[in-house]
Amino acid sequence: MTDLSSTPSNSLLTEDKRTKKRNAAERRFRAFGLGAILVSCLMLVILLISIVSNGASSFKQTYMAFPVTISQEEFDAAEGSILKTGAYNKMLQSALTEYLTTNDLLGDATEDDVKNMISGEAAADVRRLLLANAAVIGTEIDFNLLANGRIDGYFKGRVTRETAALDTKITGAQLDLADRMTEDGSMVTRFNWSFFTNPDASVQRPEAAGLGVAILGSLYMMAVVLCLALPIGVAASIYLEEFAKKNWLTDVIEVNIANLAAVPSIVYGILGLAIFINFAELHQSSPLVGGLVLTLMTLPTIIISTRAALKSIPPSIRDAALGVGASKMQSVFHHVLPLAAPGILTGTIIGLAQALGETAPLLLIGMVAFVKEYPAAYSPELGLFGEASTALPVQIFNWTTRSDPAFVERASGAIITLLVFLLMMNALAIFLRKKFERRW
């Protein structure tokens, strides 16, 4: 007779050696996974702190405020030469020296010290003002003009008195004068809106460099990518998923689409250089060429994500539409496609975000040009097709190649701006997915 009260040696309530070993392996795997997540988060935090600490100061800029009298007699006597930038430099130097002397701020600073404290872009700003409004000639105007990049770096901690002693572009007397002007209120550091509106500046004027042209060029290229990649990618996906026969030809196409999604982006730059510039003879460095190259690069991503969204729709939706008399095309466009729209939009936005951050293909098609002015006076047609332009990631690359530390600061600020755009696009993708997503 069997004793039912006795516990078998292989009871599920008792862990044997194999079970203990398996549970221990599972705990180790969970620990490794948690550790990997923590290390990834730590590296991300370190990266963000590094970028923000180096680039946050680029959103502030030092300005000096003082009155400038634009003499009608000097303008008439110059017989037009006053329209040259050099004449405005002398005018600003004289006005600033007079202001400092009147307010007992000059100290032991020389005229050369005063001259070098003003940004070279300040004269160009005054010149543009007079060319746009000649009525201000003969009046006194209170200007807020850019200070020199070294003075700006002094207030941001990038320039110290120790480094100034070794720098030929700044002197201790200028730093003393900057301190006195700050106490007087004639020199302030405030938020730099012009960082988002100004075009690029020469290597001698880092304080005037901005992202205006780069942002406009990126918007042009994203418009081209959106207008071409979305309809072509969605149409190709619908055909392959809903209408194409499953044979060796479609298998080859699917394999090649998957391979194209993994091709390095620089290959697309070589392809764009060969087809759009050398063969089609489109304007080098134009946003149109950049948009076409990024369209080629984005298409595989959109096709793959769109096909995945179409596959996620239950077959019962198609069968129900066909059962009530709808044609194949009606079932796809009236039922399947609207239900797959959240996934399609999400994939499209992610593809656009990927294209927005690409640099290598744009470098190969020549979008590294120094662009000082906005293209074609804000004309979308000429700016899109015929004018040289740049983009945010290329502008970042361009600034990092310059030796002045102020451009490194500007590059970090541009990285922050680019990251904000990417976060906004990804947040929009998440919002659209959550808003229109349906669970089956």
DSSP line for 26-48:
HHHHHHHHHHHHHHHHHHHHHHH
299, 416: one domain: yes
358 falls within a domain: yes
DSSP-assigned beta bridge partners for residue 145: 64
183, 217: one domain: no
68, 129: one domain: yes
Q: What burial class does residue 322 get, using C-beta atoms within 10 Å of its C-beta: 0-12 exposed, 13-18 middle, 19+ buried?
A: middle
Please tell me whether residue 192 adopts helix, strand or coil conformation.
coil
Nearest to 158 by CA among 426, 405, 407: 405
9 falls within a domain: no
Domain boundaries, position 280: 212-436
220, 251: one domain: yes
Residue 412 to residue 366: CA distance in whole angstroms: 23
For residues 435 and 359, the answer to whether their CB atoms sit within 8 Å is no
229, 121: one domain: no
Count of the separate structural domains present in the chain: 2
Residue 71 to residue 182: CA distance in whole angstroms: 28
Task: Write out the two tokens for 241.
Answer: 């998923």
113, 230: one domain: no
For residues 261 and 296, the answer to whether their CB atoms sit within 8 Å is no
224, 278: one domain: yes
Per residue in 292-315, pLDDT (tens digit) is: 999 999 999 999 999 998 998 888
* Global pTM value: 0.83
235 falls within a domain: yes
23 falls within a domain: no
Please tell me whether residue 69 adopts helix, strand or coil conformation.
strand
Below-70 pLDDT ranges, the chain? 1-13, 71-85, 375-386, 438-440
179, 217: one domain: no
Task: Write out the two tokens for 383.
Answer: 């700016």
For position 351, which CATH number holds?
1.10.3720.10
Nearest to 422 by CA among 402, 378, 392: 392
166, 219: one domain: no
413 falls within a domain: yes
Per residue in 147-203, pLDDT (tens digit) is: 888 899 899 888 888 888 888 888 888 898 899 999 988 899 999 898 998 888 888
198 falls within a domain: no
Residue 262 to residue 332: CA distance in whole angstroms: 29
For residues 350 and 372, the answer to whether their CB atoms sit within 8 Å is no
Please tell me whether residue 152 adopts helix, strand or coil conformation.
helix
365, 409: one domain: yes
230 falls within a domain: yes
Q: How many CA atoms lie within 13 A of 307 on its CB side?
A: 18
